[in-house]
Chains A and B, each alone.
Chain A
């Protein structure tokens, strides 16, 4: 489980050195945040309950009847490692997107590449966004399809993803790796400790003396 699964993401941050769990593949490049969580579900003042709306428009038809989608597939219920392709999470800055994935059960995402704001939002929730070569990601997705019950190990510290007999080289953005491995992603606390320097920086700017 993500340490912040209660959504409070408050309190002292734990470390996330490794995430282990079964996988779920969601294929396609440029999967945008409107797909991950359509805008009409943003009319909320808390993130609670967003999990059921993850990928909603692709999972449900006009009369809300379930469509074929990995998130609806029985085999992938309980999965915690999401395997995606390139530029995943592009579009809006809505943190509702990683919140919805996390509340559905996702604790780590492995993909070819991620949109930056999305990756940053994931980090704030303690969800690693790990990148790997296209062939490796595709092989991982194929493996998950064939072995939905197999465990995938996303090793943030070692920058590897392991499954079956395979180990793939992955990479984790430097700051993200340090934040997760050392448990220092509570940026509010980190930055709050420097309040005096912040005041000094503010005072040094030409536009702040109003």
Chain B
């Protein structure tokens, strides 16, 4: 077992007792709730006549089913309206703070928590959503839970968990131009496998990670689950503290200083011991894209797609069916793969810095005639902030659709879906068959600048090789 890591420290501070199953009962510092996984949990609570134990530590938003075009109520999709109404009733009854779309603070749960400053270092954070690991970017211990566990947390303020091992993932060096945190995490998953993290929590560190802003760290932690790790985190540092200063739910003055001391104290010790250490050379990375139907099936954009026969034996069948589905040939590169749709959104990559980076590529260019392109900001605040700096104009002038906040085409639970066998350049986190709403649909995961490049070129394109835009005279 690891020693002196953030994981151990936060775990120990939150451990209430050991249960007869051998699991620990862990106190939950922040419980985030959304509409898809919570209604059944509230139902179970009601069946047992139990109340929400810590409503003040619980926070709700709505993201998966919200329409991103017309948001007037009732929603045109009856099922979506029913889920929204159910959530409203549940949080109303339990007196849980709810960022609904009328508040101007609604958004994807993993964007909203950090943005409000609800997410803080040294906390335990859970949500009925596998991408809860996102919040680990702040040095919190954050993991996704199932609906029965949501019931547990609602009823008792705790989860039952077993302790895991800690793997340090050290990203050395400096990321080159056009290379982003998304490329780092796609590489990690490619190297360690989609199940390589089972039984582990990932600690991301090293110069390249320390140099990242909070949005970048969130992109990395977000996809921990795609590598099988239920949680991932980055040790909190000045970047973390400065991000949090002044946010809605972060105290000011002396209390801030006290909290900050606690935050700094939970970071892993310099001599911490890990169960495993993996090093990745950040200098070596290039923009990375997926060629298959799991997030582990990726290559550098200029690298040949592997032949299934060259992969480890247990990966070959999946690779063959993935290549058939995607219609790609071993030996080809992904550069040049045609795209019909460009989706810039999701809890992985729809924060303000993501939109800025994509806008920088789009500025002065036009979306390819054969591509429908959309931007779905991660939250209403991201949207407003982007509009304040004119990013919406950059996107719409280029031909992107500028939509309202939500999960949208990340999983196709609202009207934003792929149609038929459309090919989509997507900044989201999952390329599973059917994920974007059509089972023939094809998803290529990549960073926001790479989505922008694919949108303007109509095919997967190395963003570093785009022809420069001619200077426009003011």
Contact = CB atoms under 8 A, between A and B. Distances in A.
B318 A30 contact: yes
Given A8-B44, A95-B40, A188-B156, A117 B130 contact: yes
Interface stretch (A15-23, A140-148, A150-158, A192-200): A192-200
Given A90-B228, A198-B156, A206-B259, A38 B16 contact: no
A60 to B, nearest CB: 10
A191 B156 contact: yes
A11 to B, nearest CB: 9
A32 B430 CA distance: 10
B154 to A, nearest CB: 9
A162 interface: no
Contacts of A76: none
Given A8-B44, A86-B314, A205 B148 contact: no
Interface in B148-197: 148-149, 151-152, 155-160, 162, 194-195
Q: How large is the interface on A (under 10, 10 to 19, 20 to 34, 35 or more residues)?
A: 35 or more
A113 B195 contact: yes
A113 B19 CA distance: 25
A82 to B, nearest CB: 18
A40 B146 contact: no
B21 A184 contact: yes
A51 B129 CA distance: 21
A194 B148 contact: no
B23 A198 contact: no
19 contacts: A29-B318, A30-B318, A32-B432, A43-B77, A45-B40, A47-B40, A87-B194, A90-B194, A90-B195, A124-B148, A187-B23, A187-B148, A188-B151, A191-B16, A191-B155, A205-B29, A206-B258, A206-B259, A207-B123
A130 to B, nearest CB: 15
Given A44-B79, A91-B430, A57 B439 contact: yes
Contacts of B160: 187, 190-191
Contact of B262 (A95, A121, A188, A206): A206
Given A192-B156, A202-B157, A207 B48 contact: no
B82 interface: yes
A117 B230 contact: yes
Given A115-B195, A194-B25, A202-B27, A187 B19 contact: yes
Given A45-B83, A46-B40, 18 more contacts: A10-B44, A34-B430, A34-B432, A34-B434, A35-B432, A42-B413, A43-B36, A45-B40, A57-B434, A91-B225, A113-B195, A115-B228, A121-B146, A187-B19, A187-B149, A194-B156, A201-B16, A202-B157
B411 A39 contact: yes
Interface in B201-223: none
A90 B429 CA distance: 13
Contacts of A194: 16-17, 25, 156, 158
B315 interface: yes
Contacts, number: 217
B441 to A, nearest CB: 11
Contact of B20 (A40, A178, A205): A178
Given A45-B83, A116-B199, A174-B22, A35 B156 contact: no
A69 interface: no
A169 interface: no
B147 interface: yes
Nearest to B249: A210
B317 A28 contact: yes
Contacts of A173: 162
B437 interface: yes
Contacts of A43: 36, 65, 77, 79-80, 82-83, 413
B145 A93 contact: yes
A92 interface: yes
Interface in B406-455: 411-413, 430, 432-435, 437, 439
Contacts of A93: 37, 128-130, 132, 144-146
Contact of A10 (B23, B48, B123, B146): B48
Contact of B433 (A34, A185, A208): A34
Interface residues of B, number: 83
Contact of A125 (B36, B148, B156): B148
A188 B37 contact: no
B246 interface: no
Contacts of B13: 204-205
Nearest to A193: B156
A174 B80 CA distance: 40
A106 B148 CA distance: 18
A210 to B, nearest CB: 7
Given A116-B230, A206-B259, A207-B262, A188 B194 contact: no
B345 to A, nearest CB: 15
Residue of B29, B82, B432 most packed against chain A (CB within 10 A): B432
B271 interface: no
Contact of B152 (A32, A90, A115, A187): A187
A191 B19 contact: yes
Interface in A90-142: 90-95, 98, 113, 115-117, 120-121, 124-125, 134
A95 B128 CA distance: 9
B308 interface: no
Interface in A53-71: 57
B47 interface: yes
B40 A28 contact: no
A173 B40 CA distance: 27
Contact of B130 (A92, A98, A198): A92
Contacts of B156: 188, 191-192, 194-195, 198
A55 B182 CA distance: 30
Contacts of B50: 188, 192
A24 interface: no
A29 B314 contact: yes
Contacts of B36: 42-43, 94
A74 to B, nearest CB: 24
Interface string B91-128: 00000000000000000000000000000101100001
B433 A175 contact: no
